[in-house]
Chains A and B, each alone.
Chain A
């Protein structure tokens, strides 16, 4: 079917998200579904506990286990609605304490519930495994899940040992952990494979624009030639044997117009490539170091082996835009980490700055607020690049900007200083 919503207010939008952004959405959706499972497990555990204890005439001992479950649900809600490393850590630490009280309260005076009721008693421990991650990459979720499993198991073991029983965990948490890890590892493998086989649609779109730009330019050149050279040739074919001064001046003026349009290769810029590349690397390193000192953990990934054949103008724009992006993360995102992904083709180099912070509604930004508009858009566009921003409240922000590379015609080899050329 045709999707009319791909045109919004007369402005075409991209039909598919860049892979780095889509990967973050996938992880976010999996984390959300994990939290939904944990919520269902805990909610179902409430009537399960009531029915089981009441069936054995222990209804008077319900207060502590039920309070523990309510506390875990509250912590889970906080982590799901405001997913940050802090809220996830709170869910694990305080959730494990609540798990301890649940196990202690449910089993304390009722050893006959074991081992049959383990499927009920280990439910809070199962919920702790489904902690998820606050970032946009799947592998950290595995570490969080293992931490949740160990924390829950430790709380259960302590409660059991205090009561004088051998620790009993049941199979539920381990099966849940295995499935949880399989999902996130599978997601990681799929995303890695896709980075190799799936085209970068923005790059394709950029090349398509280049073709269209060339065609438009060619149409303009046709008009110019039609107005100048063809008229001059007609004059030569049909004009008098001797040209008057007005005719001569017009013909020479036309030739001068055409001569001014001669190709001027930016040789001076090419000569500066080696210096620009080294400068870019040094400035990037300095930038990351600066922000880490200021409390923002910056991770550089992607195609970091790229040789950045950029003009000094583009280098300045890239560093300035990255600095502005990281300043925004530090000032507004509410998280302490950001990820910079570098990718490149023969013609462009692209940086994606991801954070898993609060995000913002782009349509709600007042027109008089400069922000990204002046610090990133104008800076990058003035160097011939493009910028795209993906953000929504609660879903973090991804800023993707692309800058053109100079053609690689072998000249750069001569300027090699023997140092690695990381973008």
Chain B
């Protein structure tokens, strides 16, 4: 359970949070729309309404920053990323507070609290519960202090403590909801992933021993030779022509058998897709089933895309001194960034869960590098 606090929903299930850059931006737009509605409803109650309007873009910018930091090709979401995003939103809170002080807007309708809460919620898929708690505590204190300064002299109905509680309400509730969401998602996902282990082996053995497959392979490889041997055996004599043909067939068959023996799983994929594989040490077979499935999915998706130069796809595997295997994949893609993201990110994210140090260089020529840990 301790592990649950230091892993984000994106860590344990990256595919659920692959929504392009839209989700955090959609959240920030929703928060800003609520802010606009409240600004308009209480138009005459703000001390400086222009400052409310100036504050709005800071929350939009926070949403944009979140989307940028959560981009599939970027490094893991850090505490510093969350702090920067929330700091940006806090600037909006301060600007709005300056335009609220001395006005008559009720503390319960102070919109920056809601917008800040929405910004916080938009971080929850990418941020660990522990990081959220670390951000939430100073954030609640900050909003409480600002709320008390702005509203304490405004009303006699609520005591000061109640003003602070009402002001921090949206942020506190958002933070609590975010932490509960992330913790629940991570713990439940890990439990379900663990529960799936142990149900794999039996199914694999059934498929591997498929007799039809074996019959077909033998028939294909012996199609030219079997009739020849049968004719020689039936005749009971070996002619010089038989010996010459047998030598020719043996040479071809031996070449075919040697090729088949030395073929890695990646060579089979290369045969399917036409990609170029450089794997002199036959390191591809050190990849486990999940890594193979994720990499193959990525390759097939790239090859199926119309904007991809199929001949340009190259995979190189090299042994590293620490026993790991370095893999580099390069491909020419003539696709706009948005389409490229939609096409490849799900496969990239799946691959990311199975290998080390995956990096994505997103120019016109897409470059991916990762390491397969030693077995």
Asked if A292 is at the interface of the complex by the 8 Å CB criterion, the answer is no
Residues in B neighbouring A385, C-beta threshold 8 A:
203
Cβ-defined contact, B229 with A254, below 8 A: yes
Pairwise interchain contact B353-A237, C-beta atoms closer than 8 A: no
- Choose one: B165, B177, B208, B242; the contact of A212 (CB below 8 Å): B208
Which size bracket describes the interface of B in this complex? 35 or more
Cross-interface CB contact of B184 among A9, A33, A248, cutoff 8 Å = A33
- Does B281 touch A at the CB level, under 8 Å? no
Residues of A within 8 A of B213 (CB): 213-214, 217
Interchain CB contact under 8 A, B253 and A225: yes
When distances are taken between beta carbons in the complex, the residues of chain A under 8 Å from B353 are 3, 6, 15-16
As a 0/1 sequence over residues 380 to 409 of chain A, the CB contacts with chain B under 8 angstroms (1 = contact) are 010011111111100100000000000000
A262 near B219 with CB under 8 A, answer: yes
* B181 and A32 contacting across the interface, CB-CB below 8 Å: yes
Choose from A12, A55, A241 the contact partner of B237 (Cβ within 8 Å): A241
Instruction: Please report whether the interface of chain A is mostly helix, strand, loop or mixed according to DSSP.
Output: helix
Say if the beta carbon of A285 comes within 8 Å of chain B: no
Question: Using a CB-CB cutoff of 8 Å, which residues 202-230 of chain B contact chain A?
Answer: 202-204, 206-208, 210, 212-219, 221-222, 225-226, 229-230
Assembly CA distance A255 to B226 (angstroms): 6
| Known pairs A8-B198, A193-B19, A215-B265; A209 contacts B204 (CB<8 A) | yes
Which of A237, A243, A381 contacts B233 (CB under 8 A)?
A243
Count of A-B contacts judged by CB separation below 8 Å? 316
The distance from the CB of A126 to the nearest CB of chain B, in whole angstroms, is 10
| With known contacts A15-B290, A241-B238, A215–B194 Cβ distance under 8 A | no
B188 near A395: Cβ-Cβ < 8 Å: yes
Chain B positions within 8 Å of A248 at CB level: 233, 236
Q: Does B250 contact A (CB under 8 A)?
A: yes
B219:A217 contact, CB within 8 angstroms: no
Q: Do A392 and B188 have beta carbons less than 8 Å apart?
A: yes
- Asked if residues B184 and A28 are in contact (CB atoms below 8 Å), the reply is yes
A255 to B230, CA, bound (A): 6
Given known A-B contacts A201-B293, A224-B218, A234-B250, A13 and B197 have beta carbons under 8 A apart: yes
Using known A-B contacts A1-B356, A209-B207, A218-B217, determine if residue A17 contacts B189 with beta carbons closer than 8 Å: yes
Chain B neighbourhood of A207, CB < 8 A: 293, 296
Q: How far is the CA of A252 from the CA of B232 in the complex (A)?
A: 10
* Residue in B13, B219, B263 whose CB lies within 8 Å of A218: B263
Q: Which residues of the partner chain A approach B354 to less than 8 Å between Cβ atoms?
A: 6, 15
Q: How far is the CB of A55 from chain B (nearest CB, A)?
A: 7
Q: Contact: B162 with A48, CB < 8 Å?
A: yes
Q: Which of A9, A40, A252, A258 has the most CB of B within 10 A?
A: A258
What B residues does A224 contact at CB under 8 A?
218
**Is the CB–CB distance between A32 and B180 below 8 Å?**
yes
CB of B34 within 8 Å of the partner chain: yes
State whether B296 touches A40 (Cβ < 8 A): no
Q: Are the C-beta atoms of A388 and B233 separated by less than 8 Å?
A: no
Q: Name the A residues within 8 Å of B296 (CB-CB).
A: 204, 207-208, 211
CB distance from A40 to the nearest CB of B (A): 6
Tell me whether B246 and A233 are in contact (CB under 8 A).
Answer: yes
Are A40 and B173 CB-contacts (below 8 A) given A210-B207, A234-B250? yes
Give the residues in chain B near A175, CB-CB below 8 Å. 34, 114
- In chain A, positions 205-264 with a C-beta closer than 8 Å to chain B are 205, 207-222, 224-226, 229-230, 232-234, 236-237, 239-243, 247-248, 251-252, 254-255, 258-264
Identify 17 new A-B residue pairs, CB closer than 8 A, beyond the known A23-B16, A197-B18, A199-B347.
Answer: A11-B197, A14-B290, A19-B15, A29-B180, A29-B181, A32-B181, A32-B184, A171-B109, A182-B30, A198-B18, A209-B204, A211-B265, A229-B226, A233-B253, A252-B233, A260-B215, A392-B195
- Please list 15 pairs of residues, one from A and one from B, whose beta carbons are closer than 8 Å in the complex, sorted by A's number: A1-B356, A12-B288, A13-B193, A14-B290, A15-B350, A22-B189, A55-B159, A201-B294, A205-B290, A208-B296, A212-B289, A214-B213, A251-B232, A252-B230, A258-B219
Query: Would you list the 4 A-B pairs with minimal beta carbon distance, nearest first?
Result: A13-B197, A236-B246, A251-B233, A386-B203
